[in-house]
Structure 1
């Protein structure tokens, strides 16, 4: 299936629909147990679930940051190849990530329009005529 504005957001089912809900459910159960049976063991179990949830969220954030850095480098290189000059430095990360969906023919004009009008990432994505899917991001 080809990507477009309406279906480009990605979910990683194992993380979004299994790991996080089960961890939150375990944390809620552990907190309930601490309240109803307050002792050191139930407190440690609740603490363990808090740590598991934090580790899961930090792992996701770190992987997204690494992907963002790679995507920024890719877009800087693609813009340089197409325009023969550096990508404007005033662009925010969200804008650069939105621009990656534009095909080569409209990238330069869309970058210029983004810099001129300070378009939001959502406005950039809506303005793209020929969508270039990103099928590798999770």
Structure 2
């Protein structure tokens, strides 16, 4: 059963080392940009650079996690369909959207194959 307690994960190097360092560097460069007169342009540039690196790493991490999650959902549904029917799901999975496939994983075993057939007919 999926719930928040077993769903949330922390990757120590990323969450507790990298992000705090990026946060500190961002705060430090903002502070330097505010107090520096001669090199303010340099510190503003560094602030923007640190922010962009932090933002890009966050977005890439999210993208990779979602891509892996989608692959696992697809493999789970393929395996479940094969287990229940002894037929391959890949033959017709291209006829379904990913949202439909993801929704199928919440169906009970009794209704799973019925919902697959119904979804294929209604598509």
1:97 aligned residue: 102
Counterpart for residue 69 of structure 2: 67
4+ residue segments displaced more than 3 Å: 11-14
How far apart, in 2, do the equivalents of 1:107 and 1:67 lie?
Answer: 20
Segments of 5+ residues of structure 1 without an aligned counterpart are 119-138
The one of the two structures with greater contact order (alpha-carbon pairs below 8 A, sep at least 6) is: 1
**Residue number among 29, 41, 44 corresponding to 1:42 in the alignment:** 44
- For residues 1-138 of structure 1, what are the structure 2 equivalents within 5 Å? 38-87=40-89, 88-89=92-93, 90-118=95-123
Measured in 2, the distance between the counterparts of 1:95 and 1:44 equals 45
- The Cα RMSD (Å) is 3.3
| TM-score (normalizing by structure 2) | 0.63
Alpha-carbon distance in 2 for matches of 1:48, 1:62: 21
Structure 1 residues 77 and 13, CA gap change in structure 2 (3 angstroms): closer
For this pair of structures, how many residues does the alignment match? 101
5+ long unaligned stretches in structure 2: 11-18
C-alpha distance in 2, partners of 1:13/1:46? 29
C-alpha distance in 1 between matches for 2:53 and 2:119 = 41
Specify the structure having the higher radius of gyration (Cα): 2
| CA displacement, residues 73-98 of structure 1 (integer Å, 9 cap, x when unaligned) | 11101101112212222122222111
Which structure: greater helix fraction?
A: 2
